[in-house]
Amino acid sequence: MIAQIQYNSRKLKIDLSQPLDISIPIKGDISNVNAWYIGAPKIEAEVFDGDTISVEKGAAVNFNTITFNPHSHGTHTETVGHITKEKYSINKHLKQFFFLAEVITVAPEKFEDDYVISAKQLQFAIGNKKRDAIVIRTMPNTNEKKSKQYSNTNWTYFQEDAIKLLVRKGIKHLLIDLPSVDREEDGGELRGHKAFWNYHGRIRKDATITEFIYVSNKIEDGCYMLNLQIAPFENDATPSKPVLYKIIDQL
């Protein structure tokens, strides 16, 4: 289905019949992607009076309880409430769900004992393009990202200047295929998070970071319409389902 939409001052034509899902789902076993030193999520049928409420076990319905942490298990979107004493709910502060997004691919650079994404790399990839959201795919890009156990791996992170560059460019929604924009062990400094949300100034309450995405190699770099779908949790973060749509034409 082809749809014509008005986005800010631009008229765009997109194909709604070909969504490009860049989320990683939550599964109830150890093959689920994971970070931050906790166990796998659980999806288990409830038991009442010795009876397991599962159709497979003879019940009329399936009645599963799901236990997970949005920051550790699968694609999630977070607000500044992730790093503040004040409670900023993703359900209250994310009010729009469609954004003009740029997909870029970056090969992390060696920096001392780490691998990082630098401001220079992002500037080269983005140039002078004006976007509300940026989707960053890191190399190498393998299916392992969908099930990787990231704890104690010292993953790739963003240098503070790289995040500040995104803010200067007006990026409100940052989507990455890593567990965090910051170093795994940084002594609680969280420089990337704080820079993105302008923690020490006028906080960007409407800005979001989405982590643990997976951008297939079949998806080309370029401009897309992003539908950032979230579950309505009153929490700093929620499981999310970002979906890209190709822009067929600009009218």
- The number of distinct structural domains making up the chain is 1
143: in domain: yes
CB within 8 Å of 49: residues ≥ 6 apart: none
Dist CA 16 CA 3 (whole Å): 7
- The verdict on residue 152 lying in a domain is yes
pTM, 2 dp: 0.96
CATH number at residue 136: 3.50.30.50
pLDDT at 219: 98
Task: Domain of residue 10: give its range.
Answer: 2-25+72-250
The reported pLDDT for the residue numbered 140 is 97
Burial 124-153 (b: 16+ CB within 10 A, else e): ebbeeeebbbbbbbbeebeeebbebebeee
Predicted pLDDT of residue 102: 98
- Tell me, yes or no, whether 90 lies in a domain: yes
Are residues 117 and 105 in contact, defined by beta-carbon separation less than 8 angstroms?
no
Average pLDDT per run of 10 along the chain, which is 251 residues long? 82 92 97 98 96 96 98 98 97 96 98 97 96 98 98 98 98 98 97 98 97 98 97 98 91 48
How far from 227 is each of 96, 98, 115, 207, CA to CA, in Å? Answer: 9, 5, 30, 15
Residue 37 lies in a domain: no
Q: Does any domain span residue 228?
A: yes
35 phi and psi angles, rounded to 5 deg:
-155, 170
pLDDT attached to residue 9: 79
> pLDDT value at position 3?
82
pLDDT of residue 72: 98
User: Does any domain span residue 215?
Assistant: yes
Residue 150 lies in a domain: yes
Whether residue 17 is contained in a domain is answered as yes
